[in-house]
């Protein structure tokens, strides 16, 4: 709210067309922005959870509330205890991969040193926005070329790759996918953030492209939109564990089928993996086990290569939205579990799980069990 009120020239509400630009600006200055300012004053005076007791477990009925949120966001019956333990196990496995790949890239096997190098080495960051954008386009094109080997069904339209609009880029994430309209009148677009490119690591470009575009969100969302034998809700339902779980699955699938161009990009895959595995630990740590805010910050600093500014913002995110961050890795783990149990080849598995549209993972498991039994 403070950032919004401090930058009136970047107010997104100035964009929608009204009768005239003068009328739009008058309404914003006389009515809309004062309303936002009044709302900000209300927020300032509300009581909040302290940094020492930020979790739901410190609130009345908090443990039951958090357990319900875990079920809602993961769409599974995994408990906070199980998810916490799973996150720690995944991080231990990832440390072994960091050591193996880091020894080839940096000549280092100490995982802490590898992660420090990833955070601080200027040579690992882009020199220009155009260089970053070119790398994103190359990764998407490479994935599109081999996709028919691993998918029987592919989207009717290719994925566009564009930089974020200038007015959005300063506050945007590193990359994001915008689906095309459901009528197929234009394709989906992968927006790569070229703003302040010298502060963005090279090693994240490829895993981001595979997650957001191909074979990630562009494939999953576009193929769902093309379905003809399901109700519309099955094409657009917002089950995050399915949607983001597929995105994480796509990152790992890209490694299996040889899409990463070098070991540095594979370190980027590990960086994204460790951030999502750490979410299982710190989200449950906060809301089920009573962690302080500082415990989360320290854990993210030591167990992931996440930049400091993101460590702080991610910590606040987990405090503010209990359970939501669990959905990413919970989804990927379920896609991998279902694939191992399905007993079909990769093309058949991918076509099967993408033909359902987004579902709760429990419903997806029932679907996969049904068609895998039929062969």
Q: How confident is the model at residue 27 (pLDDT cuts 50, 70, 90)?
A: confident
Query: CA-to-CA distance for 82 and 75, rounded, in angstroms?
Result: 14
Output phi, psi for 192, to 5 deg: -95, 135
Q: Which letter does DSSP use for residue 31 in this model? A: I
Q: What mean pLDDT comes out for the span 242-257?
A: 98
Kindly provide the b/e burial profile for residues 40-76, where b requires at least 16 CB atoms within 10 angstroms of the residue's own CB.
Answer: eeeeeeeeeeeeeebbbbeeeeeeebbbebbbebbbb
Average pLDDT over residues 355-365: 96
pLDDT in tens, 294-334: 999 999 999 999 988 899 999 999 999 999 999 999 999 99
* pTM given for the model: 0.92
- The region, left, alpha or beta by phi > 0 then psi within -120 to 50, assigned to residue 46 is beta
The residue with greater pLDDT, 9 or 72, is 72
What pLDDT was estimated at residue 13?
66
Domain boundaries of the chain, sorted by first residue: 2-45
pLDDT for 76-132, tens place per residue?
Answer: 999 999 999 999 999 999 999 999 999 999 999 999 999 999 999 999 999 999 999
Kind and range of the H or E element at 346?
Answer: helix 346-354
Residue 235: alpha-carbon gap to chain centroid: 20
Distance between CA atoms of 321 and 260, rounded to whole angstroms? 33
What's residue 8's pLDDT? 75
The pLDDT tens digits of the residues spanning 129-160 come to 999 999 999 999 999 999 999 999 999 999 99
The pLDDT value given to residue 5: 87
Specify the length of the chain in residues: 375
How many whole angstroms from its chain centre is CA 275?
A: 10
Q: What per-residue confidence (pLDDT) applies to 16?
A: 57
Nearest to 56 by CA among 244, 324, 312: 324
Q: DSSP secondary structure string, 208-241?
A: HHHHHTTTTHHHHHHHHHT--SS-HHHHH---HH
Specify the pLDDT at position 167: 80
Cβ atoms < 10 Å from Cβ of 309: 9
Q: What mean pLDDT is reported for the chain?
A: 94
Which long-range contacts link 92-96 to residues 24+ away (Cβ below 8 Å)? 94/270, 94/273, 94/274, 94/277
Q: Rounded to 5 degrees, what are φ and ψ at 345? A: -75, 170
Name beta bridge partners: 189.
160, 178
pLDDT score, position 48:
84
Provide, rounded to the nearest whole percent, the portion of the chain with pLDDT above 90: 85
The strand pairing partners of 64, in sequence order, are none
Q: What is the pLDDT of residues 266-288, one digit of tens each?
A: 999 999 999 999 999 999 999 99
């Amino acid at each position: 709210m403070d950032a919004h009120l401090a930058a009136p020239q970047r107010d997104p509400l100035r964009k929608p067309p009204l009768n005239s630009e003068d009328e739009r600006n008058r309404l914003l200055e006389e009515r809309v922005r004062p309303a936002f300012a009044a709302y900000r004053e209300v927020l300032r005076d509300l009581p909040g959870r302290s940094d020492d007791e930020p979790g739901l477990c410190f609130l009345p009925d908090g443990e039951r509330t958090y357990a319900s949120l875990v079920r809602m966001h993961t769409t599974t019956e995994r408990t906070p205890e199980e998810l916490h333990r799973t996150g720690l196990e995944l991080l231990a496995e990832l440390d072994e991969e960091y050591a193996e790949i880091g020894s080839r890239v940096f000549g280092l096997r100490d995982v802490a040193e590898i992660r420090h190098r990833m955070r601080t080495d200027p040579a690992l960051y882009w020199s220009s926005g155009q260089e970053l954008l070119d790398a994103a386009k190359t990764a998407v094109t490479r994935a599109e070329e081999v996709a028919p080997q691993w998918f029987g069904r592919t989207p009717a339209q290719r994925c566009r790759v564009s930089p974020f609009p200038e007015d959005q880029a300063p506050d945007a994430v590193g990359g994001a996918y915008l689906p095309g309209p459901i009528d197929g009148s234009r394709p989906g677009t992968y927006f790569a953030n070229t703003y302040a490119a010298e502060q963005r690591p090279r090693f994240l470009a490829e895993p981001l492209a595979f997650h957001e575009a191909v074979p990630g969100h562009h494939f999953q969302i576009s193929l769902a939109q093309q379905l003809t034998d399901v109700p519309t809700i099955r094409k657009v339902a917002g089950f995050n564990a399915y949607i983001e779980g597929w995105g994480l699955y796509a990152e790992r699938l890209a490694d299996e089928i040889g899409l990463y161009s070098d070991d540095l990009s594979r370190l980027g895959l590990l960086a994204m993996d460790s951030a999502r595995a750490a979410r299982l630990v710190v989200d449950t740590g906060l809301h089920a086990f009573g962690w302080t805010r500082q415990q989360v910050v320290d854990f993210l600093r030591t167990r992931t290569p996440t930049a400091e500014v993101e460590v702080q913002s991610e910590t606040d995110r987990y405090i503010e939205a209990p359970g939501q961050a669990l959905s990413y890795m919970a989804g990927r783990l379920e896609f991998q579990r279902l694939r191992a149990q399905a007993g079909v080849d990769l093309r058949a598995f991918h076509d099967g799980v993408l033909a359902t549209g987004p579902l709760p993972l429990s419903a997806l498991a029932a679907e996969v069990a049904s068609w895998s039994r039929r062969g």
